[in-house]
Amino acid sequence: MGSCSNRGIFPVSKRLRPLEVRFEEKIARCPMSGCWLWTGFTSASKKAGEIGYGAIWSREHQRPLQAHVVSWMLYRGEVPLGKLVCHTCDVRSCVNPNHLFLGTPKDNSQDMVRKGRLNSNSVANWVKVPKEKRAEIANSKEPSRILAIKYGISSHRINAIKRAYEATKRFVQ
């Protein structure tokens, strides 16, 4: 009785089940869309009301892996270095290997733009703001939301520009 081990909490069959078995138990196949929806743990999505990416613990990797990546590994093979597992169906919780493809980060971004999944704030944050415009933004007394519309960039970017200019002024003085 002197043992503090928690090994007896779960039956041996639960602890030693292969990844493939645990993975298959967490799939709901949707006949209408063909998606295999992940019913296990999902990460939080940045958009309200959306389900994030699925995740499952891998003993081999000693960390959780994204469920769609595990699907690729189980049904297609290893993911080459520098490649991502991307969705053709754009359903984050889908793990159907027929709805997945390998691509580079650039391929994934181009796919996102092609399908119109890139919101205007994301595009606005990629735009390089010229130095003279940054100075105008930093010295403006207008609210960030007005400046964002005026310059076609996000209010978050406006605030970042203002903070950077303030930090520069403090450092130089």
| Residue (of 147, 140, 138) closest to 167 by Cα position | 138
pTM: 0.61
130, two tokens: 């010229």
The 10s digit of each residue's pLDDT in 11-38 is: 555 556 899 999 999 999 988 889 999 9
CA atoms of 19 and 108, how far apart (whole Å): 27
The 10s digit of each residue's pLDDT in 67-93 is: 999 999 999 999 999 899 999 988 888
For residues 82 and 98, the answer to whether their CB atoms sit within 8 Å is no
Does residue 111 form part of some domain?
yes
N-to-C CA span, the chain: 68
Does residue 26 form part of some domain?
yes
Which residue range is the domain that position 56 belongs to?
15-117
Arithmetic mean of pLDDT over the chain: 79
What is the model's pLDDT at position 132? 84
Q: How many domains does the chain have?
A: 2
CB atoms within 10 A of CB 112: 14
